[in-house]
Amino acid sequence: RDDVVMLGIETSCDDTAAAVADLLSRYGGVAPKMAEEAHSLVIDQVVRQALDNANLTENDLSAVAVTIGPVGVQKARRIAGQFSLPIVGVHHMEAHALVARLIEKNLQFPFLALLISGGHNLLILAHELGHYLQLGTTIDDAIGEAYDKTARWLGLDMRKGGGPALEELAMEGDPNSINFSVGQFLGTCLFSQIPMKQHKDCNFSYAGLKTQVRLAMESRKISPGSDPISLTNSEGRRSRADIAASFQRVAVLHLEERCQRAIEWALKIEPSIKYLVVSGGVASNKYVRARLNHVVENNNLQLVCPPPSLCTDNGVMIAWTGIEHFLSGRFDPPPPDNEPEDAM
């Protein structure tokens, strides 16, 4: 079982990614992620590159793991059919959580996971492989989406990604300059307390914070998405940095509060929990990691946060999750060779 070698293909979001991983986690052959809407144009090349970089061919593979997404699935079935390989279907968010077990070998079930990406905010109690209890989700926007929107409105350079750009600008600002809050609907101060605080669930809400950012910009006469040139003007830059820092403080405070609540809840169900996993694109953020590390330490738990390259969408997490499922017997038999495309 030591030589299980898995090809992972990820095409569920914007990126086309592939990687090869084995059980000893000598993962290699990560093909460069391509921000590519037309996955089908690059999928062959990305898979080829992942195999080449790992110095392997299809003949070395034990199985193929793939996330939902027509292009990836078609490619996976073609390879699996041709080389008689089993197929493992992998859930994108499960892969964000389980990749933590690749980098922290002591991470046993049960554990708690906060998954924060462009499309999801999830708090999950992972009882065992394939058995997850959802403690919280977003009732409107995901945190990554809020980062991306705010970055775009502030006129930041979106080429490196809205999240990283905002994180960088926030370092120049005063996080306490604006009194943003989460869960204040319509962005106005209708309530004297944070309404979400009164609900003892672990759900998230970021729509209100986004609205408050817009209002703060209006009152500072910054028009959304306006010329980034004004970023070089020191006054304009300072005022945007204050918005960025204040946004980040509150967005992350919301994560801290929900994690604290989830830890208390989860420990009642599974007192043996020792780890909080934080993963997904937003978990690359240094401020997020530092703040959640505090929460975890205060509760005598340990934080497992994969390196940024494994937090943002990648093929390794798919390949690794594929290995976990494959070893527990959860896979489909090889599809027929030369399967017609419309049967896939």
72 binds ligand KG4 (CB under 6 A): no
Shortest reach from residue 120's CB to Zn ion, in Å: 7
324 binds ligand KG4 (CB under 6 A): no
167 binds ligand KG4 (CB under 6 A): yes
163 binds ligand KG4 (CB under 6 A): yes
- Residues 75-134 contacting Zn ion, CB under 5 A: 117
Contacts of 93 (CB under 8 A, 6+ apart): 115, 117, 120, 122, 124, 280
Contact pick of 216, 250, 259, 282 for ligand KG4 (by CB under 6 A): 282
* Run of H or E including 213: helix 207-219
312 binds ligand KG4 (CB under 6 A): yes
Residue pair 220/239 in contact by the 8 Å Cβ criterion: yes
Shortest reach from residue 315's CB to ligand KG4, in Å: 12
**What does 27 interact with, of ligand KG4, Zn ion, none (CB < 5 to 8 A by kind)?**
none
Shortest reach from residue 128's CB to Zn ion, in Å: 22
Size (the chain), residues: 344
Contacts of 146 (CB under 8 A, 6+ apart): 206, 209, 210, 247, 251
Contacts of 124 (CB under 8 A, 6+ apart): 93, 97, 112, 113, 114, 115, 132, 133, 134, 135
Residue 22 backbone dihedrals phi, psi, to 5 degrees: -125, 175
119 binds ligand KG4 (CB under 6 A): yes
**C-beta closer to ligand KG4: residue 158 or 231:** 158
Residues making contact with ligand KG4 (CB under 6 A)? 13, 117-119, 144, 147-148, 161-164, 167, 280-282, 284-285, 312-313
